[in-house]
Amino acid sequence: MAKEILHREVVIIGSGPAGLTAAIYAARADLKPLVIHGPQPGGQLTITTEVENYPGFAEGIQGPALMEQFEEQARRFGTEFLITFVGEVDLSKRPFILQTDEHEIRAETLIVASGASAKWLGIPGEAPAPQGLGGMGVSACATCDGFFFRGKSIVVVGGGDTAMEEANFLTRYASRVTLIHRRDHLRASKIMQDKAFKNPKIDFLWNTEVKEILGTPETGGVTGVRLANLETGEESTFDCEGVFIAIGHKPNTDIFKDWLEMDDVGYIKTAGRSMATNVSGVFACGDAQDSFYRQAVTAAGTGCMAAIDAERYLDNLPVPIASGEEITIEGEIVSADHEQITMPDGEVISNIVEEGEAAVGGD
């Protein structure tokens, strides 16, 4: 069956805080953006509970409710949504081409807001069932799966804020939560550490690595973990009925790796003063691009920046790029000192307004 062809001025991949803020701005600029939802509509906040640090909600707000508000606001100004999966992209020229099973999407500008996904340890027993015990006691989302562990003993792996949050949350259901960390101190922020240390249902196992998740589907899933003490090398088995992996996230940028410059982990590189990538007309924002702040509010902020950059670009205004230069949609490059413009045919002209010229078209 022939694919449906869609051609849009602004296409946004991802519908977390970054993607939807980009959509709100692009829609209000009358650019009729198309948002591609991807596998987790609403992004990571839809699998979290209370968000206490998003400005404007003095009493806090549930993650899913916050994302519903974002989406409603984007829809109000005419954002179009598509639930699909982009399998392949061609960013060699404009319009950029995105392939899904049903559509060929042509984009004059592209905003990558594809976010990040939970990382896994890569140990035996961790893969989704039937290969491993994923979904049968192994999870990376306490909010999604905690309910199934009422009265059970579970372990959480990791030493960051995610691990503390997951461990605290899981004590609502579990009889006991054991936090296993590979070092002797936590990476998590002080407030999150304090909450975990004060929680009487949480124990800590330090300098310990999980080598294998034990159990079988036939015996009801997870029965324990095989551990190694990293100081002594001693191995042991620890009985539990659930394992939550909370060791951070990986940006969802694999489909762009042949086109966009990234760091070693896969975070897309953007220009210092804009959200421009190395491909003119492609912008990146949110957790796909930010390895440092990774907050809903910073993601929303960079989404706003990406939309303003795309808007300027479509208006043929110069957008800053990583080299410090600025580029327009027509391929003119303004030098970092703003003194020269290199035209698409290579001709270099002055960008300095000579005396008297300023009057042309001016007052």
Positions that interact with ligand NDP (CB under 6 A)? 121, 157-163, 165, 182-183, 187, 189, 247-249, 294
| Cβ closest to ligand NDP, residue 112 vs residue 245 | 245
Set 101, 144, 194, 263: catalytic member: 144
* Total Cβ atoms within 10 A of residue 185: 9
Strands 221-229 and 202-205: unpaired
| Least Cβ distance, residue 29 to ligand NDP (angstroms) | 31
**Do residues 330 and 343 touch, judged by C-beta distance below 8 A?**
no
**Nearer residue to ligand NDP within complex by CB, 159 or 301:** 159
Contact 268, 250 (CB under 8 A): no
CA atoms within 13 A on the CB side of 53: 7
CB neighbours of 194 closer than 8 A, spacing ≥ 6?
Answer: none
Q: Which is nearer to ligand NDP, 249 or 312 (CB)?
A: 249
Q: How far is the CB of 159 from ligand NDP (least distance, A)?
A: 3
Indicate if 285 belongs to the active site.
no
Report, in Å, the least distance between residue 77 CB and ligand NDP. 30
Compute the least distance from the CB of residue 136 to ligand NDP, in Å: 21
Question: Do the beta carbons of residue 287 and residue 249 sit within 8 Å?
Answer: yes
Check residue 276 and report its DSSP letter: B
- For residue 63, give the H/E element and its range: helix 63-76
Token duo for residue 195:
């909450």
Nearer to ligand NDP among residue 121 and residue 334 (C-beta): 121
**Which tokens is 301 given?**
């902020």
Least separation in angstroms between residue 260's CB and ligand NDP is 22
The rounded distance, in Å, linking the Cα atoms of 24 and 36 is: 14
Q: Annotated catalytic, 141?
A: yes
C-beta of 166 vs 309, nearer to ligand NDP: 166
Which of residues 60 and 344 has its CB atom nearest to ligand NDP in the complex? 60
Residue 304 among the catalytic residues: no
Give the residue nearest to ligand NDP (CB).
160
Edge to edge, the sheet with strand 138-139 lists 138-139, 242-245, 153-157, 176-180, 202-205
Classify residue 326 as exposed, middle or buried by CB count within 10 Å of its CB (0-12, 13-18, 19+): buried
Asked if 125 and 215 touch (Cβ cutoff 8 Å), the reply is yes
Least distance between ligand NDP and beta carbon 37 (Å): 23
Residue among 8 and 249 whose Cβ is closer to ligand NDP: 249
d(CA 46, CA 249): 15
Residue 90 host element (H or E): strand 88-90
Using an 8 Å Cβ cutoff, are 124 and 53 in contact? Answer: no
Give the angle subtended at the CA of 196 by the CAs of 190 and 199, to the nearest 5°: 140
Nearest approach, Cβ of residue 50 and ligand NDP (Å):
9
Q: Which residues are catalytic?
A: 141, 144-145
